Amino acid sequence: MLEIKGLRVTLEEEGKEILKGVDLTVEAGKVHAIMGPNGSGKSTLSYVLAGRDGYEVTAGSVTLDGEDVLELEAEERAAAGMFLAFQYPVELPGVGNMTFLRTAMNAQRKARGEDEISAPEFLKMVREKAKALNIDNEMLKRSVNVGFSGGEKKRNEILQMAMLEPRLCILDETDSGLDVDAMRLVADGVNALRSPDRGFLVITHYQRLLDHIRPDVVHIMADGRIVETGGPELALRVETEGYADIAKSVA
């Protein structure tokens, strides 16, 4: 469903090239993991996919079910079914979590020509999904991510994902900063969404999240490129050998 071909990206301000030709295909129903050392360009890839400003695509293409993604605004990509769980979820002081969720849901529905969700229906849905992620009413009432702990922020990202039901889920280091229990909640939340028509791109620095979210394919990213692709066993190799050796073995 997601096809990235020869993607090269530079930072608009500095003109520095970060992605140096990325090729990657994520099929519906599959979980792809991207691993790689810090600074290799994983977050940059996720931002470019989600449509953040400040990057210039100098070559290559990105399509979602054949549709050119790079032509779309960020909100259009969301309506088309793309979702990014941020590595650093953003605090929105003064914007209530519930308002935020309902506005986002209804905006996407409107963009797709669907009816708005009714207030009772929305409430029921949000209560149910929040409960599964151990998010209490108090958290739902507060401003988005304001005063949330690191783990609460990550669970809030998964709540948004569960509510918005995207077709392509990109998770950028959703495991970082989580203790074992929070990791399990997050992983359960992700696994609950796995379905034959939904694809996942799970970015992680460590193998441990992949114990809970079993990937079908693992990619290693280094210096703005995918340098190796394999099965789940590749993640285990990273754990024992480290990135340096793998990158070297490829070079």
Partner 1 sequence: MASDATRKAAEALLHALALPEGEAGWVRERRAAARSRLLEAGAPVRRDEYWRFTDPARLTAPIATAEAGEAPAQAAAVFGDVDALRVRLVNGRLRADLSDPLALDGAAIAPLGEVLKQDISIVRELVGQLELAAQEKVSRPLAILNTAAATEGLAIQAHGATVRPVLVSYDQIGEGASLVRHVIRVEAGASLTLLEAGVPTNSVMEVEVADGGTFHHVRVQTGERAPAVTHVFARIGAEAEFKTFTLTADGVLTRNEVVIDIVGDHASGHIAGAVLGKGDAHIDNTVFVTHSAEHGESRQVFKNVLAGASRGIFQGKIFVRAGAQKTDGYQISQSVLLEEGAQFLAKPELEIYADDVKCSHGSTTGALDETALFYLRSRGVPKRVAESMLVAAFVDEAISEIADEAMQERMRALVAKWMAGRT
Ligand X SMILES: Nc1ncnc2c1ncn2[C@@H]1O[C@H](COP(=O)(O)OP(=O)(O)O)[C@@H](O)[C@H]1O
Q: Give, in degrees to the nearest 5, the angle at Cα 124 between 190 and 137.
A: 80
Q: Is 204 in the site for ligand X (CB under 6 A)?
A: no
CA dist 46 and 25 (Å) reads: 14
x/- letters, 125..154, toward partner 1 (CB under 8 A): ------------------x-----------
User: According to CB under 6 A, which residues from 43 to 82 bind ligand X?
Assistant: 43-44
- Which part of the chain contacts partner 1 (CB under 8 A), choosing from 37-45, 89-97, 180-188, 197-205? 89-97
Query: Are the CB atoms for 44 and 55 separated by under 8 Å?
Result: yes
* Candidate list 6, 93, 230, 231; residue touching partner 1; CB under 8 A: 93
Output the CA–CA distances (angstroms, integers) from residue 127 to 58, 65, 98, 119, 138, in the order listed. Answer: 44, 32, 11, 12, 12
- Which part of the chain contacts partner 1 (CB under 8 A), choosing from 45-53, 113-121, 206-214, 233-241? 45-53
Query: Are the CB atoms for 131 and 140 separated by under 8 Å?
Result: no
Instruction: Report the residue number, 153 or 219, with the smaller CB distance to partner 1.
Output: 153
* Candidate list 2, 22, 86, 172; residue touching partner 1; CB under 8 A: 86
For residue 90, the minimal CB distance to partner 1 (Å) is 4
* Candidate list 39, 230, 231, 242; residue touching ligand X; CB under 6 A: 39
If contact means CB under 5 to 8 A according to the sort of partner, which of ligand X, partner 1, Mg ion, none does residue 6 touch?
Answer: none
* Candidate list 20, 100, 117, 142; residue touching partner 1; CB under 8 A: 100
For residue 41, the minimal CB distance to ligand X (Å) is 4
Q: Is 111 in the site for partner 1 (CB under 8 A)?
A: yes
* Candidate list 103, 137, 149, 191; residue touching partner 1; CB under 8 A: 103
CA dist 234 and 53 (Å) reads: 33
For residue 64, the minimal CB distance to partner 1 (Å) is 14
User: According to CB under 8 A, which residues from 162 to 221 bind partner 1?
Assistant: 164
If contact means CB under 5 to 8 A according to the sort of partner, which of partner 1, Mg ion, ligand X, none does residue 227 touch?
Answer: none
**Residue numbers at the binding site for ligand X (CB under 6 A):** 11, 18, 36, 38-44
